[in-house]
């Protein structure tokens, strides 16, 4: 066992003395050491229940013959960080989380690990560390929040952001905003739509690194506690059989993840994170390849922000297993991928499997059949053209039909704050393409999410009349013609840096195109007049981050 290096042999007496000080017994010292790395805290709603899950995981590990040890890492709440300088730290925290998990696991020589996570950057950061460490490992997330209610209307976090836009336009009162903000997030869990946190929790299932049910079992359900206990037990089976992340995180597993992502209309941020996880796993994925998945995968499930349905509706309609079952029937899954159940994807989906969803509960109002999809193509699209030579990402499932193809004049802003002020002041025209630049991985730095401007537009009823493009990111809660991740970014002197007010931008989502009516020569001439880019922060982690981070098209990972 790996842990023998800290507990076996005469020379390890000092190490053992410290372990004895923890109150461990002889029997516990003889067992495998299992690290439980959690992001529990009481500032992020998706994490406030993780201490309960940590305890259940401990019980599961102990029941199955392991000795559990807990440690923690950090977490940022994107909703609380949104719209101010705090959001610069959100994506940047992913690398800190991966490094901190690697550090504590290697320093203490755990034999296996269980990762207990929730929310947008924390889950992918932990999975990146899982791939890097390559010891038996499994993840369990905190679960989705239930939707809020206001009479017969369902609400989620995006409802509060949109309420601000509606109030700004005088459509609702300040009192109504207060009612919505107190009702839309009713308790613990990751915000209730198919936003980034829940997208990544669901994709952990599709990748095979979390137990079935992980993505959709509500945070407040007793089944979430049982799932955590089962996760603790399952890691001991992985250790016994020496099933490692490198056995699970294969090219075929990423095939399944991208196929599931397209079918469920996941967050655009999933592209960024899956690329980063694949990088750590040594799996080569080119961004243009993703349009193959989009073109060949039907869109089967439409949840908030693309509809009024929420994650709980998917849970009670078979969950991610129901979506994967439909994909399997269409021949779109790699069935032989091993998963943390110890079985293959195909075996997990058979009706006889303990892990199979209850197929009798599947509602076709929530999970469409393969022959009656919402659309024949997937919910995400990668756009290319002279404005995004290395690609841009859009959640096409949440774009109004009228904006799938659109040409309009650019209205250019060099920060999210400047764009937000202009939107509040209605300092733009219908048909404009609002451009927010210098918000990319280097330029922000940190590639902030743009939920504030997109939700303002949605709340004003303009998300079908105005497009928005950025080298930053959008929240999974964003909807409308919101195109992000433009690469190369403005700070790297990509074509977006050359844009001026009035330049005609053409968006063609069906044909995966994003172009500006400028010649390559004119773009190059404009960029040549720009001064060298300097990071906007003078010290600290963000300064180092800006110097090390790579393009969004490669997952915004650090340079090797």
- What do you get for the CA distance between the two ends of the chain, in Å? 30
**Three-class secondary structure of residue 93 per DSSP:** helix
Residue 450 and residue 416 in contact, taking contact as beta carbons nearer than 8 Å: yes
Distances (CA, A) of 419 to 142, 167, 407, 409, 450: 34, 18, 20, 15, 10
In the structure, how many helices (H) and strands (E) does the chain have? 22, 14
**Three-class secondary structure of residue 171 per DSSP:** coil
Residue 209 and residue 235 in contact, taking contact as beta carbons nearer than 8 Å: no
Distances (CA, A) of 190 to 123, 181, 186, 223, 380: 11, 16, 11, 16, 21
Residue 429 and residue 415 in contact, taking contact as beta carbons nearer than 8 Å: no
Q: Tokens for 241?
A: 């059989």
DSSP string, 60-83: HHHHTT-EEEEEE-----HHHHTT
Peptide bond into 545 cis (omega under 30): no
Rounded-to-integer distance, Cα 332 and Cα 325, Å: 10
Rounded-to-integer distance, Cα 288 and Cα 262, Å: 14
Residue 228 and residue 60 in contact, taking contact as beta carbons nearer than 8 Å: yes
Rounded-to-integer distance, Cα 286 and Cα 282, Å: 13
Rounded-to-integer distance, Cα 311 and Cα 304, Å: 8
Rounded-to-integer distance, Cα 272 and Cα 253, Å: 17
Catalytic residues: 475
Distances (CA, A) of 542 to 93, 346, 359, 445, 557: 10, 44, 48, 7, 14
Nearest of 55, 75, 204 to residue 139 by alpha carbon: 204
Rounded-to-integer distance, Cα 499 and Cα 410, Å: 8
Rounded-to-integer distance, Cα 475 and Cα 161, Å: 11
As beta bridge partners, residue 433 has 410, 467
Residue 559, phi-psi category: left (phi > 0), alpha (psi -120 to 50), beta (remainder):
beta
């Amino acid at each position: 066992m790996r842990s023998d290096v800290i507990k076996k042999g005469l020379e390890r007496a000092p190490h053992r003395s410290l372990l004895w000080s923890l109150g461990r017994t002889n029997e516990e010292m003889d067992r495998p050491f299992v690290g439980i790395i959690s992001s529990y805290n009481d500032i992020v709603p998706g994490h406030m229940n993780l201490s309960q899950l940590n305890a259940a995981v401990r019980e599961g590990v102990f029941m199955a013959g392991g000795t559990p040890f807990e440690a923690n890492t950090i977490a940022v709440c994107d909703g609380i960080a949104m719209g101010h300088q705090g959001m610069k730290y959100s994506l940047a925290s992913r690398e800190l989380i991966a490094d901190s998990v690697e550090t504590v696991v290697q320093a203490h020589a755990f034999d296996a690990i269980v990762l207990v996570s929730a929310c947008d950057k924390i889950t992918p950061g932990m999975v990146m560390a899982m791939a890097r460490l390559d010891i038996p490992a499994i993840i369990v997330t905190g679960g989705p929040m239930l939707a809020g209610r206001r009479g017969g209307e369902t609400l989620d976090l995006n409802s509060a952001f949109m309420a601000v836009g509606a109030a700004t336009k005088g459509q609702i009162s300040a009192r109504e905003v207060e009612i919505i903000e107190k009702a839309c997030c009713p308790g613990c869990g990751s915000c209730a739509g198919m936003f980034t946190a829940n997208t990544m929790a669901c994709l952990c299932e599709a990748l095979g690194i979390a137990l079935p049910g992980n993505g959709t079992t509500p945070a407040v359900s007793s089944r979430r506690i049982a799932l955590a206990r089962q996760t603790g037990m399952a890691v001991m089976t992985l250790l016994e059989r020496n099933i490692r992340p490198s056995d699970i995180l294969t090219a075929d597993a990423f095939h399944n993840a991208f196929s599931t992502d397209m079918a469920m209309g996941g967050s655009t941020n999933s592209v960024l994170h899956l690329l980063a996880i694949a990088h750590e796993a040594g799996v080569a994925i080119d961004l243009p390849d993703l349009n193959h998945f989009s073109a060949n995968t039907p869109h089967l499930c439409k949840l908030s922000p693309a509809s009024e349905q929420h994650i709980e509706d998917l849970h009670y309609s078979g969950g991610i297993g129901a979506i994967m079952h439909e994909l399997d029937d269409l021949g779109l899954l790699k069935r032989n991928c091993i998963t943390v159940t110890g079985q293959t994807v195909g075996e997990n989906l058979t009706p006889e499997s303990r892990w199979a969803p209850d197929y009798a509960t599947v509602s076709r109002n929530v999970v469409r059949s393969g022959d009656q999809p919402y659309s024949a193509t997937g919910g995400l699209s990668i756009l290319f053209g002279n404005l995004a030579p290395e690609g841009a990402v859009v959640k096409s499932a949440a774009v109004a039909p009228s904006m799938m193809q659109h040409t309009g004049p650019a209205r250019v802003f060099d920060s999210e704050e400047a764009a937000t002020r202009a939107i509040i002041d209605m300092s733009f025209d219908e048909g404009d393409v609002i451009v927010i630049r210098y918000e990319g991985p280097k330029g922000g730095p940190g590639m902030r999410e743009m939920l504030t401007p997109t939700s303002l537009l949605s709340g004003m009823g303009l998300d079908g009349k105005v497009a928005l493009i950025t080298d930053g990111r959008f929240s999974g809660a964003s909807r409308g013609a919101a195109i992000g991740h433009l690469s190369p970014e403005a700070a790297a002197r990509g074509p977006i840096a050359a844009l001026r007010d009035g330049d005609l931008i053409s968006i063609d989502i069906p044909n995966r195109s994003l172009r500006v009516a400028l010649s390559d020569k004119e773009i190059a001439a404009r960029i040549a007049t720009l001064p060298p880019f300097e990071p906007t922060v003078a010290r600290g982690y963000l300064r180092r981050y800006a110097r090390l981070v790579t393009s969004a098209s490669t997952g915004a990972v650090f340079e090797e």
